[in-house]
Every structure is written in C-alpha cells, then in structure tokens.
Amino acid sequence: MKTVWKKAALGVLMVVGAGIGPARAVAQELPQRTGNPYLGAIVVETETGDVLFEDRADEYGYPASVIKLLTLLTVLEAVDAGRVSLQDVVTASAAASRIGGSQVYLKEGEQFTVEDLLYALMVQSANDAATALAEHVAGSRALFASRMQAVAARLGMTHTAIHTEHGLPPSPGQAPDTTTARDLAKLCCALAKRPDVFRYTAAIERPFRNGTFIMRNHNPLLKTFPECDGFKTGFYRKAGYSIAATAQKNGANRIAVVILGCPDRELRNRTAENLLRQGFRLLGEKRRQQYLRSVGMLSADP
C-alpha cells in the first residue's frame, strides 16, 4: 500500500497487554486491547490499496465479529471453486446450535441454504450461522479456520492469526483471533472488488426463517452515512468496538475505513464517519494532484 498521508501519533493512552501477538496463546485473563479514541485506524482507497490516512494501524487488536468478513470471503471463494453452491442445504449441528452471542437461534437439524446463512452472517452477525457454514464448507471448524488463515496469508495479512470462524472471545486456554487495522484494510480491498459481497453487507434488514425472524444490520453507518454501502462491525468487552466500512460518492472510487479497539460505540461511529469524510477529501486531493501531474502543472514525486 502506498501512503498518501499519515497522521502523527496523538500520544493517546492505550490500555494494552504486554506481548500480545498473532501466535500468543491465552494462559491468563485476556488483556484489554482498546485505545482512546481507538487502538488503531486506517482509511484506504479500495481499488488501489493506497492509504489515505493511518494512525497506529499496526497495533494488534481483537477483531471480534469484523473477522466474519474473512469468513464471508472464504465461503465465497469455495463457491467460486465449485466446492459448494449458494443453494446447498446446510444442516445445523449441535455445536452450531450451542454458539452464544449474536445469533439466529439455529436448532440442531434445522436446514437453510448457504445463501440464507451468508445473509445471517452479515446482517445479523450470527455466530451460529458462521459455525454452520464453517462445518459445511470445510467439514470442521478447525479446518475452516485453517482455510481462513490461508486466505489471510494470500492477501498479505501477515499480522493476523485466526482461530475461530466467528470472532467470539476465546475459551480458557485458547488463543484469541488477532489482527491489525492495516491487515483488515487489505481484506476490505479484496472484498470491495467483489460486487456480490455488497448484497450481503449492504442489507439493512432481511427476513429469516420464512419471515418469522427479522435480521437487522449492526452497521449504523448504513443509515447515518449516505455514501456507506457495506461491511461489518464487531464488539466484545476486551476487544472494544470495531468497524470496517466502505463508502462511495458519485460513482468515484470506493474508500474503506477500519477502526479497531474503540472504547465506546458512539465514539466509534462518529469517528468512522469523520474519517470517511476526511478520506473523501484526501482522495479528491490525490485525484487533483494526479491530474496536475498529467498535464505538466505539478512535478512528479522525487
């Protein structure tokens, strides 16, 4: 990624745990990984990957449900390869029915299509749907996590460690999913190149279980920021509030913001909107400079 503009560190107090990294197992209580106003943030142009803004973008944090974006991409790539179909019928296992947190309350033996569960994954942020998809696509949750890790490695997400399909906090003795804002931005760029992604991530509401359950998107920017067209939020207490959101103005190139480890939901939402506005301004300045160079009115970068 080429950095167009980089924000200087603000000297912000961060509550961190020593030695957290992508391969560290949890041997004690999970350390808090949040900062004020965030642990790390980045804004990128998704077509090129150019960085428009970054602030501590390489700090490790816990992605929580934002990691379901990698679950989505892993499933869609399995569909591309012909290993599964969107119309495959998935039977919920006992393990899927016992997953807690945000869910669509799958019952053991209940059946839905892959596509239905992808909507549940993105709109409702359903952990049980994530588990059902993982088991269907790879045969086991562990194998699916390995596939997610392989996809992350291919995208250059070198500071990301995947242990779950849903991003929930680890059980005692397990390692947490870890990543950085920069790595999540690489994932955003890959997803933004797929038009099919936006039908799942841009849906504000979606009926489920024959309309008896209405799923509602957890991404507030879909309602409050007119140019926002998708992606995902995440939260658990030690991870703080995170978001990866895309926006496009007047058909121009799409940008994405990633905020990792914010201590407050409303602060996360306001900061994401502000960074998207700033991103559009910086993108406009970048385009202006490119034009001036093309007509010889501005010298090229040394």
Catalytic sites, residue numbers: 65, 68, 125
Pairing of strands 240-247, 255-262: antiparallel
Q: Which of 153, 150, 134 is nearest to 142 (CA)?
A: 134
Q: Which residues contact 131 (CB under 8 A, 6 or more apart)?
A: 93, 95, 96, 99, 141, 165, 166
Distance CA 290, CA 296 (A): 10
* Cβ atoms 172, 166 nearer than 8 A: no
Q: Which residue has the tokens 């992508």?
A: 22
* Cβ atoms 89, 111 nearer than 8 A: yes
Angle, helices 141-154 vs 127-138, to 10°: value is 90
Name the burial class of residue 250, with classes exposed (0-12), middle (13-18) and buried (19+) by CB atoms within 10 angstroms of its CB.
Answer: exposed
Distance CA 183, CA 156 (A): 7
